[in-house]
Amino acid sequence: MTDVVIAGYARSPFHLATKGALARVRPDDLAAQVIRGLLEKTKVDPAEIEDIILGCAFPEGEQGLNVARLIGLLADLPLSVGGMTVNRFCGSSMSAIHIAVGQIAIGAGEAFICAGLESMSRVPMGGYNPMPSPELMKKSPGAYMGMGETAENVAQKYQITRVEQEALAVKSQQKAAAARASGKLTEEIIPIQTKGGTVSEDGTIRGETTAEALAGLKPAFSQDGTVTAGTSSPLTDGASAVLVTSADFAAKHGLTVLAKIKSVGVSGCAPETMGLGPIEASRKALARAGISAADLDVVEINEAFASQAIACIRDLGLKDETINIDGGAIAIGHPLGATGARIVGKAASLLSREGGRYALATQCIGGGQGIATVLERA
């Protein structure tokens, strides 16, 4: 198989939906700025790009139509660069990367921009016109279940206490705050021009959060539940992008390679406990890479909810010190379609920054799926 590499990663700052600094920024504009930033950073010749593959969980309204193509035009990319929008809910932009890997493998191009975006301010979760199938609703009500409820189900199934969830949330916030304070997030963030000025830092991180403060919150999804706003990832606006190329292309054009893509995996699971999706998906990817969890030096596991992250960490036997080194989605935010590219890009950057050989990026997906990517240091 042709070796495929991550040759660049960038993202916008992440901000709370509705009240954050990006609420008034159109999502297509946001992604266009990130892609321009990635091109400038990697110095790749835009004319060499085959396609923009962009993930979005609710591709309608301002992020509707074939928004990937429109973003290419907005970002002044050469007309020859294609554009495709893909949807696998939260796994959308990780799927975008996987598609690029396949395209490169069959010789259908050498350089791809794999991006993701979501404005949860401007397009509601569930979209404007949620119209479930009455038949499926009867047959498999979990298919349409709210994400918070699935997180409660996982907490119950795995007997994960509220205190454990809050401990993970506090740690995530502290790690993210420390990373920001030491400038470790600056490298990946593309400052965004808005009508209200330039936005160059995340607006989601709450480093001052304490276990006591979290303990005071009301359950967010079920009266007698354990999941709160503090142990859930916030509704977030953001965009992300990685440059995916063949190893040869990267070498020929003198690109800085962050990591090699070793293997990928996708696996379905019960919709009612969709948060467990990463377990089987990661197992598949690890098996395909011929390694075990013990071999991982860096893990980016999306914290959609603390409960599901804990369950996956537990089942997969992940090492604590490898997990979400610069903080996870509870602190940084989870703009649905943008998260996959963020965590793959982040895992690749961490491998190159922290050293080590293997990294795993994995996330759960609404409706009952998981997706995973194993990276190897270049």
Partner 1 sequence: MIDPIKKVCVIGSGTMGAGIAAQVANAGIPVLLLDIVPRDGSDRDAIAKGAVAKMLKTDPAPFMSKRAAKLVETGNIDDHLGRVAECDWVVEAIVERLDIKQSLYAKLEAVKKPGTAVSSNTSTIPLANLVEGRSDQFKRDFLITHFFNPPRYMRLLEIVTGPDTDADLARRVEDFSDRALGKRVVHAKDTPGFIANRIGTYWLAVAVNAAMDQGLTVEQADQIGGSPMGVPKTGIFGLIDLVGVDLMPLLSASLSATLPQGDPYFETVRDMPLVEKMIAEGFTGRKGKGGFYRLDKSGGQKVKQSLDLATGEYRAEQKPEKLPGKAEKDLAALVTVPGKVGDYAWTILGHVLSYAAKLVGEAADDIVAIDDAMTLGYNWKFGPFELIDRLGPGKLAERLAAEGRPVPALLKSAGTNPFYRIENGQRQYLSADGSYRDVKRAEGVVLLEDIKRASQPLIKTGSAALWDVGDGVAAIEFTGKMNALDEEVIKLINQAIPLVKASFKALIVYNEGSNFSAGANLGLAMFAVNIAAWSEIEKLIAGGQAAFKALKYAPFPVVSAPAGLALGGGCEICLNSDAIQAHAETYMGLVECGVGLIPGWGGNGEMLDRAAKARMMPKGPMPPLSKVFQTISTATVAKSAAEAQELLFLRETDGITMNRDRLLSDAKAKALSLVDGYAPPEPPTFRLAGESGRVGINSAVRDFQKKGMATAYDGVVSDRLAEVLTGGEADIVDTVTEDQLLRLERKAFLASVKDPRTQARVEAMLTTGKPLRN
Beta carbon of residue 130, minimum distance to partner 1 (angstroms, whole number): 5
Q: Which two tokens stand for residue 200?
A: 């160059």
Residue 15 catalytic?
Answer: no
Classified as helix, coil or strand, 208 is coil
133 is a site residue for partner 1 (CB under 8 A): yes
CB of 61 or CB of 207, closer to partner 1: 61
| Candidates 56, 98, 114, 334; catalytic one | 334
Residues 98, 298: Cα–Cα separation, whole Å: 19
Which CB sits closer to partner 1, 141 or 196?
141
Interacting residues of 345 by C-beta distance below 8 A, sequence separation 6+: 6, 9, 10, 11, 188, 240, 241, 242, 258
- Rg of the Cα trace of the chain? 19
Contact residue for partner 1 among 1, 79, 107, 129 (CB under 8 A): 129
Smaller CB distance to partner 1: residue 165 or 240?
165
Site residue total, partner 1 (CB under 8 A):
18
Which of 15, 56, 90, 114 is the catalytic position?
Answer: 90
Q: Report residue 289 as tokens.
A: 């890479």
Q: Among candidates 60, 64, 82, which has minimal Cα distance to 73?
A: 82
Options 221, 249, 305, 358; binder of partner 1; rule CB under 8 A? 221
Q: Restricting to residues 7-66, which ones interact with partner 1 according to CB under 8 A?
A: 61
Single out the residue of 107, 134, 216, 254 in contact with partner 1 (rule: CB under 8 A).
Answer: 134
Residue 98 annotated among the catalytic residues of the structure: no
128 contacts partner 1 (rule: CB under 8 A): yes
CA 26, 28, 31, 33 dihedral sign is: negative
Least Cα distance to 172 among 294, 374, 9, 323 occurs for: 323
Q: Tell the smallest beta-carbon distance from residue 228 to partner 1 (Å).
A: 12
What percentage of the chain's residues is helix, strand, coil (to nearest 5)? 45, 25, 35
Please identify which residue in 2, 45, 105, 132 interacts with partner 1, judged by CB under 8 A: 132
List the structure tokens of 290: 């011929």
Query: Does 137 engage in binding with partner 1 (CB under 8 A)?
Result: yes
For partner 1, which residue of 26, 46, 84, 144 counts as binding (CB under 8 A)? Answer: 144
Q: Is 312 a catalytic residue?
A: no
Q: Please state the closest distance from residue 224 (CB atom) to partner 1, in A.
A: 9
The token pair that represents 375 in the structure block: 């990276």
**Least Å distance between CB 223 and partner 1?**
4
Is 149 a binding residue for partner 1 by CB under 8 A? The answer is: yes
Q: Which of residues 159-188 bind partner 1 (CB under 8 A)?
A: none
C-alpha 83/C-alpha 341 separation (Å) is 16
End-to-end CA distance of the chain: 16
Q: Which two tokens stand for residue 12?
A: 């916008």
Supply the minimum distance, in Å, between the C-beta of residue 27 and partner 1. 15
With binding defined as CB under 8 A, does residue 355 bind partner 1? no
Which one of 194, 222, 288, 295 is in contact with partner 1 (CB under 8 A)?
A: 222
Nearer Cβ to partner 1, position 127 or 268? 127
Report the nearest approach of partner 1 to the CB of residue 122 (Å): 11
Encoding tokens for residue 67?
């928004």
Check binding of 196 to partner 1 (CB under 8 A).
no
φ, ψ (nearest 5 deg) of residue 42: -85, -15
Does 102 interact with partner 1 (rule: CB under 8 A)?
A: no
* 220 belongs to the binding site for partner 1 (CB under 8 A): yes
The DSSP 8-state label assigned to residue 189 in this structure reads B
Closest separation in Å from C-beta 12 to partner 1? 24
Strands (E), the chain: 4-11, 15-16, 51-55, 82-86, 111-119, 192-194, 197-199, 236-246, 259-268, 296-301, 358-365, 369-377
Lookup: tokens for 153:
């189900």
User: What does the binding site for partner 1 look like in residue numbers (CB under 8 A)?
Assistant: 61, 128-134, 137, 141, 144, 146, 149, 219-223
Q: Which residues are catalytic?
A: 90, 334, 364
